[in-house]
Structure formats: structure tokens, C-alpha cells
């Protein structure tokens, strides 16, 4: 564990916002690979993730996962037609490209290796995040943007009290 901050991939953070927007807490989710996705999403939703540092590499979610080889490379494969359409078989390749695109689109927010206060990240995202940036995911989920924006609003409320 890190000293007072979480290391998270930008796309995982947007997943947290989406989950907050739809009210999904991962409470009944089976975790067969041993990652910390559900646990950290709950911490975020509960207002316990005060500071954050973004990375395109293995993050606090991935580190304990059984699919992480050598502490750095995800060996999990996609079985999704959308991922294959875009030429990806391995999650590590798709996710790295996605995180680099998110960093390029919003470098002041998704700055790698800089520790940021959660309330600052959420306030900045509220001002500059667009549907087009969320659509970098490339999945065919039209509700993704709307629910992510709802998650930002809810997150600002949660973290403004801390």
C-alpha cells in the first residue's frame, strides 16, 4: 500500500466514476483473479480515496491479480468482438493505449506520477471532460458518458465534505 494515496490507471478511474453514476458498488461481485477493483471502487465511493496518482502501468487494482505476470504485464485476453475489431487480444495492450490517449487528451488531470487531491481531480474533470474523451473507450455503450458525468457530480459531493 502507498503512503496516503492510491495509484490508479486513468481508465480505471473513469470506471469508478461510471460505477458511482450507476450506483454499482461491486458488493456481490466474485473476484476470482484476486484484483482489487471492487474493493478500491468501494473505497472511492465511500470517500476514502483522498489522494490519487495516475499511471499507465500496473496500478493498485492490478498488483495482486493472478493475471499479472512479473508484477507488470497483464496476461488476460479479450473475448470481445469490439476489442478484436480494433486489433487487440490482450487487455494490457488495449488498456495501455487507452490510458495514453486519456493522458494526451487531459494531461493536466491524468498526469502520470503526480499525486493529486481527489477533490481537485473531480473539479477539474467536471470542467473539461467531454463525451468524446469518454468515447476513447470505443465500446458501444451510449450510456457510458451520461453515467460518468453523473459519477463526477456525485463524487464532487462526496469529496467536498472531506
Q: How confident is the model at residue 133 (pLDDT cuts 50, 70, 90)?
A: very high
Backbone angles phi, psi at 18, to 5 degrees: -60, -45
pLDDT for res 115: 97
Q: Is 53 helix (H, G, I), strand (E, B) or coil?
A: strand
Buried-state track 90-122, b at ≥16 Cβ within 10 A, e below 16? ebbbbbbbbbebbbebbeebbebeeebebbebb
CB atoms within 10 A of CB 50: 14
Q: How far apart are CA 105 and CA 71, in angstroms?
A: 28
pLDDT for res 3: 82
pLDDT for res 78: 76
pLDDT digit string (tens) for 58-116? 999 999 999 998 888 888 887 777 667 778 888 888 889 999 999 999 999 999 989 99
Does this model's pTM top 0.85? My answer is yes
Q: How far apart are CA 29 and CA 31, in angstroms?
A: 6
pLDDT digit string (tens) for 15-53? 999 999 999 999 888 899 999 999 999 999 999 999 999
Amino acid at each position: 500500500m502507498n503512503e496516503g494515496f492510491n495509484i490508479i490507471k486513468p481508465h480505471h478511474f473513469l470506471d469508478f466514476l461510471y460505477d458511482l453514476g450507476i450506483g454499482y458498488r461491486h458488493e456481490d461481485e466474485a473476484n476470482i483473479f484476486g484484483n482489487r477493483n471492487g474493493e478500491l471502487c468501494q473505497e472511492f465511493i465511500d470517500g476514502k480515496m483522498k489522494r490519487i496518482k495516475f499511471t499507465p502501468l500496473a496500478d493498485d487494482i492490478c498488483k495482486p491479480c493472478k493475471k499479472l505476470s512479473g508484477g507488470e504485464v497483464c496476461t488476460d485476453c479479450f473475448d470481445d468482438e469490439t476489442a478484436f475489431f480494433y486489433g487487440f487480444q490482450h487487455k494490457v495492450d488495449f488498456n495501455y493505449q487507452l490510458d495514453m490517449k486519456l493522458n494526451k487528451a487531459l494531461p493536466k488531470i491524468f498526469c502520470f506520477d503526480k499525486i493529486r487531491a481527489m477533490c481537485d481531480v473531480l473539479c477539474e474533470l467536471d470542467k473539461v471532460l467531454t463525451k468524446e474523451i469518454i468515447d476513447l473507450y470505443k465500446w458501444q455503450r451510449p450510456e457510458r458518458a451520461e453515467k460518468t458525468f453523473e459519477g463526477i457530480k456525485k463524487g464532487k459531493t462526496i469529496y467536498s465534505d472531506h
